[in-house]
Amino acid sequence: MQDILLKYMKLGYQYLVNHILAFLLIPTAIAVAVEILRSSPARWNSFAIDPIHLIFCSFLAVFIATVYFMSKPRSIYLVDYACYKPPVTCRVPFSTFMEHSRLILKDNPKSVDFQMRILERSGLGEETCLPPAIHYIPPTPTMDAARGEAETVIFSSIDSLMKSTGLKPKQIDILVVNCSLFSPTPSLSAMIVNKYKLRSNIKSYNLSGMGCSAGLISIDLARDLLQIHPNSNALVISTEIITPNYYKGSERAMLLPNCLFRMGGAAILLSNKRRDRSRAKYKLVHVVRTHKGADDKAYKCVYEQEDPQGKVGINLSKDLMVIAGEALKSNITTIGPLVLPASEQLLFLFTLIGRKIFNPKWKPYIPDFKQAFEHFCIHAGGRAVIDELQKNLQLSAEHVEASRMTLHRFGNTSSSSLWYELGYIEAKGRMKKGDRVWQIAFGSGFKCNSAVWKCNRTIKTTSDGPWQDCINTYPVHIPEIVKI
């Protein structure tokens, strides 16, 4: 009974604080209106309108309105996006992965056992995919194979996007591509320009080395470009090419990415055209970026290096989760005032003042972000990442369902994982007009980036997309340990 009473008291407090302006302004407006109506007709007749003053006031009103609308940031719309779905021929069941590991690391059984323990606890399923070159024994990570993977993933995503939106190559004004570990010459953005014969005056950018959070960095860059280039379309490509980055050594910290990272990619169409407002899926509200690279531990917690045998791989530090938690706190501190209702901001402020003045041992108040967002897309970097954010943000199992199921079905697809998660929510028919979505991603450097979207229209489930043939089987129960 007490819990129910506290719940309703909190709801009443939230409603009162979040609507305090309405409660104050409406009675004031009514009182002013009554007072005006009570004024005598003679007093009304005493007001004389000077034509010169009227013209001046009209000009001033037009001038102020013009300055306001010209200085107002352009609205950025997400028209649509498409995710790459690998063919079944690239599927890597646990048994296949472990068989290859035993053959490749036959002289180091401890490393094989380590990979098996990681895979058992990873949260990945049996349907994740690796590129063809990694299926060979030993793997053949050649430049041609890496280019082949990039062409397959990127071109397939763009083709799907063009089909769903009716976009023509000549209509693309801005191109932003992010791929962290594969940076050939010519660049991947040049590869796209060549394939689709894009315009010679296209503004193209190629981002590399920025980790799993690079997808939101690309969105931020595209947003800034769309603010200064009116009536434009921006195509954003987020992917990670696995072929040249498969680690063939035996260092445990560098074997982790082999167990988690899988094929994937996404193509996103952004626009600042007013006519796209009606058909766009989402409107971009905020992008918040946090960079902890000034700290040496944060800088080196995800680090590409050679092992003692000269084999190159990505070293994931044991301090990764602690550093990610610190980066998340910094990011939340910035994004909180932008999105949280007044009731949550006041509670946070009162707790902070109380800890500073009265008792430092007071438990810090964690804002309830469930009041600010209906959906959460947490980077599917691994089970530990999702568990930590669910705990810190006090989210329910349903709030992190999209992240867990994406990790299970597609693995860690790096910067594109957020779009598979958004696709999952849409495929389940949960995305309604007005819903707010929080995308959270972590990346090397170390970075924590957030994007906030508002759903522009209720999104109907479609017969295409990466989830089309399996959405009815999800969600699935994912045990703590899957015995291989």
Cα–Cα–Cα angle for 305, 308, 313, rounded to 5 degrees: 30
Give CA–CA dist 256/385, Å, rounded.
14
Give CA–CA dist 209/444, Å, rounded.
8
Active site residue 53: no
Strand 302-306 versus strand 312-316 pairing type: antiparallel
Give CA–CA dist 342/20, Å, rounded.
9
Active site residue 375: yes
Q: Which of 272, 412, 449, 456 is catalytic?
A: 412
Record the tokens describing residue 123, joined without a space. Answer: 């949260």
Active site residue 379: yes
Give CA–CA dist 38/260, Å, rounded.
74
Give CA–CA dist 440/419, Å, rounded.
11
Active site residue 212: yes
Q: Which of 83, 233, 272, 379 is catalytic?
A: 379
- Contact (Cβ atoms closer than 8 angstroms) between residue 213 and residue 418: no
Q: Looking at the DSSP assignment, which residues form a beta bridge with residue 452?
A: 286, 438
Q: Which of 375, 377, 448, 455 is catalytic?
A: 375
Indicate the burial class of 364 (C-beta count within 10 angstroms; 0-12, 13-18, 19 or more).
exposed
Phi, psi of 437, deg, nearest 5: -120, 135
Q: Which of 129, 272, 399, 408 is catalytic?
A: 408
- Contact (Cβ atoms closer than 8 angstroms) between residue 340 and residue 278: no
Residue 245 DSSP symbol: G
Strand 174-178 versus strand 203-207 pairing type: parallel
Q: Which of 129, 179, 212, 377 is catalytic?
A: 212
Helices (H), 72-178: 94-104, 109-121, 132-135, 143-165
Helices (H), 287-431: 296-300, 320-339, 342-357, 383-392, 401-410, 417-427
Cα–Cα–Cα angle for 427, 238, 390, rounded to 5 degrees: 60
Q: Looking at the DSSP assignment, which residues form a beta bridge with residue 235?
A: 175, 269
Question: What is the number of helices (H) and of strands (E) in the chain?
Answer: 17, 11
Record the tokens describing residue 453, joined without a space. Answer: 């979207």
Write out the catalytic residue numbers: 212, 291, 375, 379, 408, 412
